[in-house]
Structure 1
């Protein structure tokens, strides 16, 4: 997981296959269109061209994709005790947009310790270790809005012995051999990230409280003592290795994080198989096979997607595509929007438009195609990313080579299902 700047340094990785949902807002046509314009709109609809109000594309808070999002993608490229209960049990908890703290990630709040302390955290399918900053902070003690977790006042906190098998399991997670404390008793973790963020501290066991009725007594996490940057498999058996979530579409709306087969999961969904990423099995892989713009498939050699592979990552904001695939998408998209003036790039987004003089914008739908015939059709919320009306960008970026993993980021995610398959559906937050 990646850390959340300002509000928290706490993260969570759930080692379970998941089902994710993202609200999809459909925008109505502009009222008051003349007969001639209505005829034109009919022709446009046949060509999969749609109209949306420019103001609906603007963020509620000013936020742009950070260079740390790119650093996280570079890092991904370089890496390549539970409660015994019925697996049909389910629970949900609120999810909020990170826009409130100028982050492109998503936040949930959990309780840690006894008595429990409320902690905000990012959930991220592309990272491996849960950790939070703990008292006393030895050094690199950057400010955060929430108080640090204090293990000395929790009656359920336990340090993991550096001689235990649990300690040795850190190696594939941190890609380092764990160390022992000075007194040779406590397991020390050392987690490094692609954006130069890091956390070093005690590997520990604590009570995790998801809701008033969902409590886990042996949650493994890192109690960070040296931390720098922007900043648990214990639930797996209980919920049948399934969790689902809806990523809220705006900073003022609320999504949800659900465990088990709760009622929201039973929506009509089409699926494609989840794949294992051989370079790093902690990632969730997909088989992306094609892209269309305006209803027309782009000519992209199948070898482009085959050689790169694709993962899905809630902790990456902007989707990254192989160089050849992105070039084809960008060029065709630009041809469809030639009437709108180009403007400066926004971080990694290099195809941006100045729409400050327009009330509406017409755009072609973009769709992704996955193995098994699954089609993910994006609307405006998954196609545009903006800082203001004068800087509205195509919400995709290209890798610098065709053989680097494509990453499906959280702007485009809709629905994700457990049991070795992934699916997409509309209306996830309803």
Structure 2
């Protein structure tokens, strides 16, 4: 397949997706379109310097290590799996790797909030006023001020909602009144990139689209942050635990949701709450929780093909599965499938100069090439579901193969958001499956 030079299409690892309101006739729930931050349709294109592939890879590995440590921490162990230490001594200091945002309305009257979209997190939060520059990081929008909302209310300390934070390892605690009584429920979350946030767990109206208002949405009103930031207003959790947006709105939309992440050069994508009325265009593979942590979504990979040729890989090396993570840019594969994929891809790309790398990355110099032929890459999941990745947007990032090694064979891997591009990813809560629909955006 011929395509324009990938370096002209893949501009950065710092890809943020802006959502506006758009109706969809095939949905009973809320649907909003998605624009790439660096794409041609962004109403306020980003002026920040795009990250390099090396930075993207570092951030991706930091995030993967954090998700693994979080799951193992819930099991009370620091087990070594397949010869690889699952919990690093330090998580690293790079910015968190959530790379897509939604623009929603919070409060009454609704105030626009730009939130990072993350399937690897549950609790949603925004920075709240009053908060000075030493306690909150700088953001592009004014801080959300709960004092100006008629529907804001802190969640009581002794409530079941507050107690659920502790059961989900979110570190709840209760603030004290001047008279020594407990009144407000506190939350505390730390992310893989070093960002820490804490504040008051609260109740508020959340506007998803015109006429689509969640009246009692639980979120964190953040008063103290530490670590790196992306200058967004907060985070929107799409994980599987009770604090997430899909679970909180399950009575309205059934708990299912989907999204389509467009490449840099395209127009719009979307995030949708609620399953489409017709799923005949989807191919489904079974989906489970990862290590019973309640947050992460796990699927099983069974095979990989390059250029239409199936690679000879024993199925047992895929036993750990893949965590489906829209906040992780690059896909992580166990050592054998990664080596086989890299070797086959390099052979198919032998016509182009490979850039030397100390980390043995697969990056190319396409300078001077008007046409670049990129081989098709397909992933096969449990049930015989084969997904053709978009070429080149779902294969290359900044001229580099957007895959890395996760660890020894049998170790857990990650399906990153580069590989999701142009696919509608349907998280079917009732059917317990992950659906793929090609060419959705």
TM-score (norm 1): 0.76
Of 144, 158, 161, the residue aligned with 1:149 is 144
Aligned: 1:400 with 2:351: no
| Residue number among 119, 128, 132 corresponding to 2:122 in the alignment | 128
> How many pairs does the alignment contain?
350
Aligned match of 2:111: 117
The residue correspondences of 1:26-425 to structure 2 (distance < 5 A) are 50-54=1-5, 57-59=8-10, 61=38, 62-65=50-53, 66=56, 67-80=58-71, 105-137=99-131, 139-173=134-168, 175-183=169-177, 184-228=182-226, 229-231=228-230, 232=245, 233-250=247-264, 253-262=267-276, 266=279, 268-306=281-319, 308-345=320-357, 350-378=361-389, 379-386=391-398, 392-413=399-420, 414-417=423-426, 418=428, 419-425=431-437
Partner of 1:381, secondary structure, is coil
SS at 2:252 equivalent: coil
Q: Report the CA distance between 1:266 and its aligned residue.
A: 4.4
Change (3 A) 1:124 1:177: closer
8 Å contact 1:57–1:381 — kept in the other structure?
A: no
Query: C-alpha deviations, 1:121-171, integer Å up to 9, x for none?
Result: 122111111001111116432211011111111111111122111111112
Once the two structures are TM-superposed, the CA of residue 219 in structure 1 deviates from its matched residue by 0.2
Counterpart CA distance in 2 for 1:280 and 1:171 is 13
Greater RCO, 1 or 2 (C-alpha within 8 Å, sep 6+): 1
Distance apart, 1:196 and its partner CA:
1.0
* TM-score under structure 2 length normalisation: 0.74
**Counterpart position of 2:74:** none
Cα offset, 1:177, TM superposition: 3.7
Which structure 1 residue ranges, 5 or more long, are not aligned? 1-49, 81-101, 387-391
Q: How big is the shift at 1:215?
A: 0.6
Conserved 8 A contact 1:75-1:193: yes
RMSD, matched Cα: 2.3
Give structure 1 regions of 4+ aligned residues with deviation exceeding 4 angstroms. Answer: none
**Displacement of 1:367 after TM fit?**
0.8
Q: Unpaired segments of 5 or more residues in structure 2?
A: 12-37, 39-49, 72-95, 231-244
- CA drift at 1:281: 2.3
CA distance change for structure 1 residues 104 and 186 in 2, over 3 Å: closer, same or farther? closer
Paired residues of 2:165 and 2:172 also in contact (CA < 8 A): yes
CA distance in structure 2 between the partners assigned to 1:375 and 1:367 by the alignment = 6
